């Protein structure tokens, strides 16, 4: 076949049609000329190159394998030369030259064209070049390659690329003999943005933050996003700590400026942890870990902080990891133990409850306090396991005390926020009570207000389930968190515990005393009892007694102790001293304050016959100390004393103990300070030395009478408040009962409606009778069977359904009747055996035919 020299590729109409239909570009090249001129092209190649056949034929093929101006030494020219020299076919990926900036990427295949009579080893005269457009695939591969090294949201380097650049930066730092710094950055409160505005707003904020940080960088620095709201920055060519700190402070200021996000202005704080190379570590993994430790420490300080890594952080982290592992082992190997701190009832004085406290007896470190390992348990997610372990162990101990015949007391178990959110909590408690036989009223769960506030609808549902079990519910640590009256009203609580941070200052701190009084008052108005934690002195107990607190807990009454010690306390009937019970008459107590001991002795001899309990002090400060430790009714003080004059002492006594009656007995005649004290109400009477014995006794007796009148009024007030509290508690219990009954009625109505609906579709005739024999229910099958009997519902069954009473008696058991010439089996089921329903249910079915 002769070659068409005009169009060598299209030597026949069939070949021309094939080449025209070919989607890949094809061109024929003259291999006998060094420039490899183009002999022919197909339409697809013209489209790829953006040129006409006239523009292509005769030009050098080398130029088509790359950008304009490519030299013969380029990859395409080298491939043409190799195949032309007798080499095998070549394949390579290049853009099509001459197509401008949008030149497509093509997969080129170059092969020799054998001529008739030519064999192997003979230099070919022509080459065929086929170009397949792979631009879309190439772009996808390039995108995948980019995503493998960059963050999809911000376009920053990801962990993989960051590690490569960090290694390169450390190598350069070693060559330069200088340093670099790794910065871990986290946005403060970022989760709140996602929760309140959505993830779209969160993503926009992250993109904006990445752009601002990039604006603080130099060309040699590297920024990476390591997921979430955490960024990592490598500061290259660092000479000093001051230089790093200046950059960090600049970043914090820049990020602190408002961000426009979805039409709102957001403020974001930033915390940064810093580790330096080579001072802190000489490898990338450790350097990054140390920077992350420093960031955790910065966040622990409250956020918006800069923190450089220190060796102590690594030591604390290692110790924490070891302790966490040891705690997991302790749960398995039984190293944990429960101790119980008794709670006293201020009305009866006896132990009314025990709070279960987890203790860790480590085989090497000994007894580890809860304040050290409970935070570890929270961080490790072990608080739920600890809580359930405490519940099981407490129930075991309660069973042991019951078996020993000891008085029953309520045991309180602390519930962590995570355990409270566990959906299995109500069922676990129910199972523990059922398996042990412990009365629900003997178990109480203590929950903090913060745990309740995390998810109010969920908290309401969980509390309702727990309350339905009959256990007690205590709000723990009240006074330190939200401390909202509305929360006390909302939740079905039985007891509120005042936090020990308030209790410790009630004797000396007017503000804390007022807060405690308010908490007691508002809880009692809602029918909720009040316990005070951290009671360590008799004075604190007396204050709480006088202000209607129901229970106390603390070292004054009893320290935490093990199961056997608790048994001993219960057996011994350990109780609060009688004079500290809530409602009782105190002995008459007189305090004498004078720096002259002979005066104090003389007054004691004079007043002892009146039956007073007499205390004494030799200075104003000593007098305040005595008042802090004792309940005093009347104070008799000198005016002129070293350190603190009598007027100032009585002013202080009035402020701290306003119920006392204060008398000044002095020979000091400077009246201005005394007059001021009288006018301020700090002094009830001013008597002069030397005194008249009978007159002094009369005035002191009058003071005691006034005090006793006030005490009687206070005692009556306490009794009234106690009665009101008990009434409020009873009302609250009644409301709980009514609410439960209403819920039960609602459930019963739903069940009844479902049962009615089901019976309507039962093919058997079903009739319900009440206790008086009235028809209370008729299903569809019964209505159809007795349609001819007229109205049935609401009438006496004997009258409207005579067919069922062949002997004139109400049906009972089973018998047969004939209705419409058919035999039916009538079965009567009395109601009430397994429910609260009454009356009977009659089922009518066709008798089975017998041969």
Q: Write out 522-563 in H/E/C secondary structure.
A: HHHHCCCEEEECCCCCHHHHHHHHHCCCCEEECCCCCCCECH
> Is pLDDT above 80 for 823?
yes
For residues 25-40, give the mean pLDDT.
88
> Is pLDDT above 80 for 277?
yes
Q: Is the pTM of this model over 0.75?
A: no
Cα separation values, 120 from 80, 85, 768, Å: 18, 12, 106
Joined tokens for residue 840: 């009977």
Cβ(843)–Cβ(764) below 8 Å: yes
> Is pLDDT above 80 for 358?
yes
> Is pLDDT above 50 for 676?
yes
Mean per-residue pLDDT of the chain: 82
For residues 35-58, give the mean pLDDT.
87
Q: Which of 421-437 are b and which e, b meaning 16 or more Cβ less than 10 Å from the residue's Cβ?
A: bbeebbebbbebbeebe
Cβ(22)–Cβ(47) below 8 Å: no
For residues 734-743, give the mean pLDDT.
77
For residues 473-494, give the mean pLDDT.
75
For residues 743-757, give the mean pLDDT.
77
Cβ(363)–Cβ(317) below 8 Å: no
Q: Which of 74-88, 236-250, 281-295, 643-657 is least confident?
A: 74-88
> Is pLDDT above 70 for 116?
no
DSSP, residue by residue, 400-412: HHHHTTPPP-EEE
379 or 686, higher pLDDT? 686
Q: Which of 34-38, 161-165, 669-673 is least confident?
A: 669-673
Greatest pairwise CA separation for the chain in angstroms: 156
For residues 764-775, give the mean pLDDT.
84
> Is pLDDT above 80 for 446?
yes
Q: End-to-end alpha-carbon separation of the chain, Å? A: 102
- pLDDT at residue number 486: 66
DSSP, residue by residue, 244-268: HHHHHHHHHHHHHS-EEETTEEE--
d(CA 389, CA 337): 10
> Is pLDDT above 90 for 532?
yes
Q: How many other C-beta atoms lie within 10 A of the C-beta of residue 251?
A: 23
Provide long-range contacts, Cβ within 8 A and 24+ apart, for 786-793.
792/767
Whether omega before 278 lies within 30 degrees of 0, making that bond cis, reads yes
- The whole-angstrom distance between residue 839's C-alpha and the CA centroid of its chain comes to 52
740 or 595, higher pLDDT? 595
> Is pLDDT above 90 for 753?
no
According to DSSP, the residues that pair with 819 across neighbouring strands are: 822
d(CA 820, CA 803): 10
Cβ(362)–Cβ(377) below 8 Å: no
d(CA 514, CA 174): 66
> Is pLDDT above 90 for 780?
no
d(CA 200, CA 197): 8
532 or 546, higher pLDDT? 532
Q: What domains are defined for the chain?
A: 13-142 (3.30.450.20), 150-309 (3.30.70.270), 324-575 (3.20.20.450), 589-714 (3.40.50.2300), 762-846 (3.30.450.20)
- pLDDT at residue number 65: 61
Q: Which of 23-27, 320-324, 539-543, 657-661 is least confident?
A: 320-324
Cβ(618)–Cβ(384) below 8 Å: no
> Is pLDDT above 60 for 119?
no
Query: 75-89, 336-350, 513-527: which has the highest mean pLDDT?
Result: 336-350
Q: How many other C-beta atoms lie within 10 A of the C-beta of residue 135?
A: 15
CA angle 269, 272, 273 (to 5 degrees): 155
As a whole-number percent, the residues of the chain with pLDDT over 90 amount to 18
503 or 488, higher pLDDT? 503
- pLDDT at residue number 448: 86
Q: How confident is the model at residue 124 (pLDDT cuts 50, 70, 90)?
A: confident
CA angle 439, 440, 446 (to 5 degrees): 135
Q: How many other C-beta atoms lie within 10 A of the C-beta of residue 341?
A: 20
- pLDDT at residue number 412: 94
As a whole-number percent, the residues of the chain with pLDDT over 70 amount to 85
Query: 65-79, 120-134, 350-364, 728-742: which has the highest mean pLDDT?
Result: 350-364
List, for residues 151-202, the tens digit of each pLDDT value: 878 888 888 888 888 999 999 999 888 889 999 998 887 777 776 677 788 8
Q: Determine the angle formed by the axes of helices 383-403 and 563-571, rounding to 10 degrees.
A: 40
Sheet holding 613-617, edge to edge: 613-617, 589-593, 634-637, 661-666, 685-688
For residues 224-239, give the mean pLDDT.
87
Q: Which of 214-228, 379-393, 541-555, 832-846 is least confident?
A: 832-846
- pLDDT at residue number 5: 46
Q: How confident is the model at residue 72 (pLDDT cuts 50, 70, 90)?
A: very low
């Amino acid at each position: 076949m002769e070659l068409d020299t005009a169009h060598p590729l299209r030597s026949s109409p069939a070949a021309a049609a094939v080449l025209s239909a070919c989607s890949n570009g094809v061109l024929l090249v003259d291999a006998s000329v060094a420039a490899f001129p183009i002999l022919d092209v197909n339409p697809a190649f013209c489209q790829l190159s953006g040129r006409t056949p006239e523009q292509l034929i005769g030009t050098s093929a080398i130029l088509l394998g790359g950008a304009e101006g490519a030299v013969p030494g380029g990859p395409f020219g080298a491939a043409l030369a190799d195949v032309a020299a007798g080499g095998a076919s070549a394949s390579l990926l290049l853009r099509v030259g001459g197509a401008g900036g949008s030149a497509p990427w093509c997969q080129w295949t170059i092969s020799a064209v054998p001529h008739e009579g030519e064999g192997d080893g003979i230099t070919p005269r022509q080459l065929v070049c086929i170009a397949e457009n792979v631009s879309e695939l190439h772009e996808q591969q390039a995108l995948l390659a980019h995503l493998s090294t960059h963050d999809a949201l911000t376009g920053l380097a990801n962990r993989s690329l960051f590690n490569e650049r960090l290694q390169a930066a450390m190598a350069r730092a070693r060559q330069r003999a200088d340093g670099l710094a790794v910065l871990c950055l986290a946005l403060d409160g970022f989760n709140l943005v996602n929760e309140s505005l959505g993830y779209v707003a969160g993503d926009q904020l992250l993109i904006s933050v990445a752009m601002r940080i990039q604006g603080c960088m130099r060309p040699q620095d590297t920024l990476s996003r390591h997921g979430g709201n955490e960024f990592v920055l490598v500061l290259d060519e660092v000479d000093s700590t001051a230089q790093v700190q200046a950059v960090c402070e600049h970043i914090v200021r820049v990020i602190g400026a408002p961000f426009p996000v979805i039409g709102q202005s957001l403020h974001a704080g930033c915390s940064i942890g810093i580790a330096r190379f080579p001072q802190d570590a000489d490898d990338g993994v450790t350097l990054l870990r140390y920077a992350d430790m420093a960031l955790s420490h910065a966040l622990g300080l409250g956020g918006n902080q800069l923190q450089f890594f220190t060796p102590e952080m690594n030591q604390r982290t290692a110790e924490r990891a070891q302790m966490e592992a040891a705690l997991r082992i302790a749960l398995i190997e039984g190293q944990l133990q429960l101790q119980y701190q008794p709670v006293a009832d201020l009305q009866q004085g006896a132990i009314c409850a025990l709070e279960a406290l987890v203790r860790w007896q480590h085989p090497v470190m000994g007894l580890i306090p809860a304040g050290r390992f409970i935070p570890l348990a929270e961080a490790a997610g072990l608080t739920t396991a600890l809580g359930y372990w405490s519940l099981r162990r407490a129930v075991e101990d309660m069973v042991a005390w019951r078996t020993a015949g000891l008085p029953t007391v309520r045991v309180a178990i602390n519930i962590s926020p995570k355990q409270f959110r566990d959906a299995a909590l109500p069922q676990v408690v129910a199972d523990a009570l059922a398996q042990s036989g412990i009365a629900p009223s003997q178990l109480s769960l203590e929950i903090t207000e913060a745990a309740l506030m995390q998810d109010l609808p969920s908290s309401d549902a969980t509390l309702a389930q727990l309350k339905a079990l009959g256990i007690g519910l205590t709000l723990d640590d009240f006074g330190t968190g939200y401390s909202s009256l509305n929360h006390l009203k909302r939740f079905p609580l039985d007891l509120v515990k005042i936090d020990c941070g308030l209790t410790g200052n009630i004797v000396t701190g007017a503000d804390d005393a007022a807060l405690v009084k308010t908490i007691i008052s508002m809880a009692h108005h809602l029918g909720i009892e009040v316990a005070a934690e951290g009671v360590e002195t008799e004075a604190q107990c007396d204050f709480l007694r006088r202000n209607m607190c129901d229970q106390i807990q603390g070292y004054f009454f009893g320290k935490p102790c093990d199961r056997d010690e608790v048994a001993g306390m219960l057996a011994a009937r350990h109780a609060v001293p009688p004079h500290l019970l809530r409602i009782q008459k105190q002995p008459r107590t007189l305090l004498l304050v004078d720096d002259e001991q002979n005066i104090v002795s003389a007054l004691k001899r004079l007043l002892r016959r009146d039956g007073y309990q007499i205390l004494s002090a030799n200075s104003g400060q000593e007098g305040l100390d005595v008042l802090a430790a004792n309940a005093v009714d009347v104070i008799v003080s000198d005016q002129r004393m070293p350190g603190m004059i009598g007027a100032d002492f009585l002013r202080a006594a009035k402020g701290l103990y306003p119920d006392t009656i204060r008398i000044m007995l002095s020979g000091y005649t400077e009246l201005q300070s005394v007059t001021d004290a009288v006018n301020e109400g700090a002094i009830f009477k001013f008597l002069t030395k030397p005194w008249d014995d009978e007159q002094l006794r009369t005035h002191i007796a009058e003071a005691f009478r006034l005090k006793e009148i006030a005490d009687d009024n206070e005692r009556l007030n306490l009794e009234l408040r106690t009665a009101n509290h008990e009434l409020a508690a009873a009302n609250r219990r009644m409301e709980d009962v009514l609410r439960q009954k209403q819920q039960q009625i609602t459930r019963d109505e739903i069940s009844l409606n479902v049962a009615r609906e089901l019976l309507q579709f039962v093919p058997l005739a079903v009739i319900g009778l009440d206790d008086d024999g009235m028809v209370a229910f008729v299903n569809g099958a019964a209505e159809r069977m007795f349609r001819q009997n007229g109205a049935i519902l609401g009438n006496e069954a004997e009258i409207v359904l005579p067919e069922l009473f062949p002997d004139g008696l109400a049906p009972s058991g089973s018998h047969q009747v004939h209705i419409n010439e058919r035999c039916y089996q009538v079965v009567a089921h009395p109601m009430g055996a397994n429910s609260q329903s009454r009356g009977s249910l009659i089922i009518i079915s066709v008798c089975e035919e017998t041969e």
